[in-house]
Amino acid sequence: MAFITANWNPLGEAFYRKIDLYDMGWSLRDGFKDCMVAAAPYGGPIALLRQPQRPSPSARPQLEIYTSSGANMASFPWKSGPVQQLGWTVCDDLLVIQEDGTVLIYDLFGAFKRHFSMGNEVVQNQVMEAKVFHSPYGTGIAIVTGASRFTLATNIDDLKLRRLPEVPGLQGAPTCWAVLTQDRQTKVLLANGADLYILDNTSCTPVTPPGLSPQACSIVNIAVSFSYKYLALFTDSGHVWMGSSNLKDKLSEVETKVRSTPKQMVWCRRPRSQQPSVVIMWDRLFLVAGECQEIIQYTLDEECVCVAELDGVRIIGGSRHELLQEVPSACEDIFKIASMAPGALLLEAHKEYEKSSQKADEYLREIKEQSVLGEAVKQCVEAAGYEHEPETQKTLLRAASFGKCFLSNFPPEPFVSMCRDLRVLNAIRDYGVGIPLTHPQYKQMTMQVLIDRLVYRKLYPLAIEICRYLKTPEYQGVSRVLKHWACCKVQQKEEPDESIARAVSVKLGEAAGISYSEIAARAYECGRTELAIKLLEFEPRSGEQVPLLLKMKRSQLALSKAIESGDTDLVYTVVTYLKNEMNRGDFFMTLRNQPVALSLYRQFCKHQEQETLKDLFNQDDDHHELGNYYVKASYKESKLEARLSLLQSAVDEYNKAKNEFAAKATEDEMKLLRFQRRVDEEKGEALLGLSLHDTLHSLLSANYHKQAEQLYRDFRVPDKRYWWLKLTALSEKEDWEELEKFAKSKKSPIGYLPFVEVCVKRHNKYEAKKYVSKVTPEQKVKAHLAIGDLDGAAEAAIERRSEGEISTVLARCSPSTDRALLERLNRARSTAAKK
């Protein structure tokens, strides 16, 4: 396996290696000559802005976007203003910063998204230099203008421009500068000749890096590490100073013996780096300067660009794409020549095993004797993650799997998840996809983001495959991808609405938790309202459909969807919206076709807008409800005339509704009110507002029998009730004489038991007795009992031979009752029972 270390170069205690990622698929005739290049970290896309071959006023530069493997994604002539800088955002959007300070944003496929400006001041003074940087807050832009002033935007998605203070003595652009993020603050570090300044929101502070060699007259390049923790300065004396970015500690200083200004300088570190280094690039020369002051030198046969990564540096050239990194310790342990590390032994053991050699056993024993088999397996698994070649990965994983067989309780997760991760990584590193992520980068980036990136590249099938393979919950995985697919699909202008809608529904049919309303919203944004409506049909949540439908001015449909959802609050919302949008007539017509909405609106009006309620009923010719409306309104009036006039309106409406009963009743009510007023005025009573019944009662109590009689006739009060009324009124007054007259006036329609009862109620047994004889035979027993005449009751009951009645009498007997009576009753009962 010696060849694995063939590309290793020692640097201090550690090794550095260059891995071939791709032979670039593009065909650049002159390499990067006359090109502005920007490549995004995490194996992101590459943008090229190529100046026209023969400069002429009509010739335009060409903007091209490629994958990391050099496959073209977009290419178009640049028709906007002169470009100062290209850059990529954290979500793979291309930023083009023009000299006039305008920043244009394009997506991966070269579609224009939006633009913004870096401030009015810039328009005059022009951008001299610009840098794009990434921080936890997102993607930021820093520019320096012709007036030597810096302007910062920390997050382009939440644009807040900050103009930094003036730098004393700075004329034109600084020699070099970089953006730092420290203590949650973004600052600019700049060098003007030998002077170094830190520029923050409020001040410009001169700083001196500790131990910078005095020979230098000028700092010509600055590099900040990926994590913003470290800083490298290159001086015109050919020294590289390395230290912490807060400028408190110095790590090392290396003399390169090259004095010309480098083209690019970047840090090359990895997490838990043994030997961090700085990569410095000139036209033909490429140096890796380690902290140990040693240097690896490569020659370049073409113009290149370096991209700093979390765990190394990618070098992109016109024909090749390579990754330079410090060899991870697991790989070093295993592959270093003559290594006796557990992993190396295990790999050897497995190799022998494959050859069916007994040496396998020897090696294994050796590992087991040191009881490091677990560690050996771990090493192999880890190393597999760092290897780029699938063959090497497999070899290592097979060795790990072999070693695992001899371990009893080794946890399976690391092995399994590494296998899965590698499968995903190999798939996306594929030339066709062109995302050369390393394992640590993948872990840092997270699967979610990776899926997002694949989706953004429209690699939907791959994204879905990965989600399925990793068993991501449908919600976050497949469904999300499908939603993006659908959002993209709806933008295909050439396809007719019908077929897109069908395609979307067929694909998304079974996926859980798809938000069709989002897809529809996208279709609407693209001006495809009809398609949006079709798509909304698939949305199971009616509630979700409503806001978009309202936005699309499909208010009628919104209303029926709101109704369908059953959420009355939503219906109210649409109704309120309609009310403000439409003229009153149309609004009422709309409601008329939607009974549910109409009744809700009526409810609303009942509490909030009485007048509208009337209009609604009018519109529907609902005369009955209008009648009710007027009746209700009449009670709010404290003036009799007003009340009467409202009641008259009610009568009219009831008549129109052919509701004779209600009309008559209301007329009666008016008649009663008028009557009451008259009597009140004449006799000084307070009858107004009483019910007919109470009016009669009051009249009778006050001895206005004539008036009572009149009411009784006018309102055709049933005799029975009138008798009850008069009876009650007279007995309450204890006007026994009048009562007796009344009883004799004609045959009582309610019988005479009530007479007995009201007298008893008033504790007047004497009067009560007068009526007992008049009571019908059926009620005789009751009447006698009411006045406490047990003998009479017994007599009546026996006469009627009713078992029930006899029992009732018996129940009222007490121990003091006459014996003979009791016996008679009992005898009569048994006779009655026999029958």
Partner 1 sequence: MSAHLSYGRVNLNILREAARKDLREFLDKCAGSKAIVWDEYLTGPFGLIAQYSLLKEHEVEKMFTLKGGRLPPADVKNIIFFVRPRLELMDIIAENVISEDKMHSPRDFHILFVPRRSMLCEQRLKEQGVLGSFINIDEYILDLIPYDGDLLSMESEGAFRECYLENDQTSLYHTAKGLMTLQALYGTIPQIFGKGECARHVANMMLRMKREFAGSQTQILPVFDSLLLLDRNIDLLTPLATQLTYEGLIDEVYGITNGYVKLPPEKFAAQKKQGEASKDLPTEPKKMQLNSAEELYAEIRDKNFNGVGSALSKKAKIISAAFEERHNAKTVGEIKQFVSQLPHMQAARSSLANHTSIAELIKDITTSEAFFDNLTVEQEFMTGVDTDKVNTYIEDCIAQKDPLIKVLRLACMQSVCNNGLKQKVFDYYKREILQTYGYEHMLTLNNLEKTGLLKPQTSTRNNYPTIRKTLKLWMEDANEQNPNDISYVYSGYAPLSVRLAQVLARPGWRSIEEVLKMLPGPHFEERQQLPAGLHKKRQQGENRTTLVFFLGGVTYAEIAALRFLSQMEDGGTEYIIATTKLINGTSWIKSLMDRPEAQTL
The one among 29, 214, 661, 815 contacting partner 1 by CB under 8 A: 661
Q: Does 486 bind partner 1 (CB under 8 A)?
A: no
Q: Does 811 bind partner 1 (CB under 8 A)?
A: no
SS3 content of the chain, % helix, strand, coil (to 5): 45, 20, 35
How deeply is 775 buried, as exposed, middle or buried, from its count of CB atoms within 10 A (0-12, 13-18, 19+)? buried
Task: Please report how close the Cβ of residue 97 comes to partner 1 at its closest, in angstroms.
Answer: 39
Q: Does 229 bind partner 1 (CB under 8 A)?
A: no
665 or 821: CB nearest partner 1: 665
Q: Does 513 bind partner 1 (CB under 8 A)?
A: yes
State the helix-helix crossing angle for 447-456 and 413-429, rounded to 10 degrees. 20
Token pair listed for 233: 């300065």
Task: Please report how close the Cβ of residue 677 comes to partner 1 at its closest, in angstroms.
Answer: 8
The one among 77, 211, 566, 804 contacting partner 1 by CB under 8 A: 566
Contact criterion met (CB below 8 Å) for 250 and 242: yes
Token pair listed for 606: 């009942």
Task: Please report how close the Cβ of residue 577 comes to partner 1 at its closest, in angstroms.
Answer: 10
808: left (phi over 0), alpha (psi -120 to 50) or beta: alpha
573 or 703: CB nearest partner 1: 573
Task: Please report how close the Cβ of residue 498 comes to partner 1 at its closest, in angstroms.
Answer: 24
533 or 571: CB nearest partner 1: 571
Task: Please report how close the Cβ of residue 765 comes to partner 1 at its closest, in angstroms.
Answer: 19
CA distances from 569 to 541, 543, 566, 591 (A): 15, 10, 9, 16
372 or 514: CB nearest partner 1: 514
Residue 62 gets which letter from DSSP?
Answer: E
The one among 121, 474, 620, 622 contacting partner 1 by CB under 8 A: 474
Cα radius of gyration rounded to whole Å, the chain: 50
The one among 251, 449, 665, 822 contacting partner 1 by CB under 8 A: 665
The one among 355, 502, 636, 827 contacting partner 1 by CB under 8 A: 636
| The Cα angle at residue 688 between residues 684 and 691, in degrees rounded to 5 | 130
| The Cα angle at residue 739 between residues 737 and 745, in degrees rounded to 5 | 105
The one among 639, 706, 819, 834 contacting partner 1 by CB under 8 A: 639
d(CA 395, CA 397): 6
Task: Please report how close the Cβ of residue 504 comes to partner 1 at its closest, in angstroms.
Answer: 17
d(CA 692, CA 224): 97
454 or 692: CB nearest partner 1: 692
386 or 538: CB nearest partner 1: 538
Task: Please report how close the Cβ of residue 624 comes to partner 1 at its closest, in angstroms.
Answer: 8
Contact criterion met (CB below 8 Å) for 143 and 97: yes
144 or 809: CB nearest partner 1: 809
Q: Is 40 helix (H, G, I), strand (E, B) or coil?
A: coil
Task: Please report how close the Cβ of residue 474 comes to partner 1 at its closest, in angstroms.
Answer: 6
Which residues are paired to 279 by β-bridges?
Answer: 266, 288
Task: Please report how close the Cβ of residue 121 comes to partner 1 at its closest, in angstroms.
Answer: 35
582-617 burial, b for 16+ CB within 10 Å, e for fewer?
A: eeeeebbebbeebebbbebbeebbeeeeeebbbebb
Binding mask 518-557 for partner 1 (x = CB under 8 A): ----------------------xxx---------------
242 or 781: CB nearest partner 1: 781
State the helix-helix crossing angle for 660-683 and 623-634, rounded to 10 degrees. 20
Residue whose entry in the numeric block shows the structure tokens 């000139």: 282
The string of DSSP codes covering 90-109 is TTS-EEEEETTSEEEEE-TT
Q: Does 509 bind partner 1 (CB under 8 A)?
A: no
Dihedral of the CA atoms 28, 30, 33, 38 (nearest 10)? 10
Count H helices and E strands in the chain, helices first: 33, 29
126 or 565: CB nearest partner 1: 565
The one among 724, 761, 800, 813 contacting partner 1 by CB under 8 A: 724
The one among 109, 112, 635, 766 contacting partner 1 by CB under 8 A: 635
The one among 668, 685, 732, 734 contacting partner 1 by CB under 8 A: 668
Task: Please report how close the Cβ of residue 560 comes to partner 1 at its closest, in angstroms.
Answer: 14
How deeply is 571 buried, as exposed, middle or buried, from its count of CB atoms within 10 A (0-12, 13-18, 19+)? buried
The one among 72, 448, 691, 745 contacting partner 1 by CB under 8 A: 691
Task: Please report how close the Cβ of residue 669 comes to partner 1 at its closest, in angstroms.
Answer: 4
Instruction: Give the list of residues 6+ apart from residue 51 with CB closer than 8 angstroms, or none.
Output: 34, 35, 61
Residue whose entry in the numeric block shows the structure tokens 């009048």: 738
169 or 718: CB nearest partner 1: 718
d(CA 147, CA 457): 40
205 or 603: CB nearest partner 1: 603
Question: Between residue 569 and residue 628, which ones bind partner 1 under the rule CB under 8 A?
Answer: 569-570, 572-573, 576, 595-596, 599-600, 602-604, 607-608, 628
Contact criterion met (CB below 8 Å) for 289 and 254: yes
Binding mask 65-104 for partner 1 (x = CB under 8 A): ----------------------------------------
Q: How far is CA 444 from the centre of its chain?
A: 25
565 or 701: CB nearest partner 1: 565
Instruction: Give the list of residues 6+ apart from residue 715 with CB closer than 8 angstroms, or none.
Output: 668, 671, 672, 692
168 or 689: CB nearest partner 1: 689
Which residues are paired to 189 by β-bridges?
Answer: 178, 198
State the helix-helix crossing angle for 478-489 and 497-508, rounded to 10 degrees. 180
The one among 568, 655, 701, 764 contacting partner 1 by CB under 8 A: 568
228 or 604: CB nearest partner 1: 604
The residues of the shown chain that bind partner 1, judged by CB under 8 A, are 474-475, 479, 512-513, 540-542, 564-570, 572-573, 576, 595-596, 599-600, 602-604, 607-608, 628, 631-632, 635-640, 643, 661-662, 665-666, 668-669, 672-673, 688-693, 715, 717-718, 720-721, 724-725, 728, 750
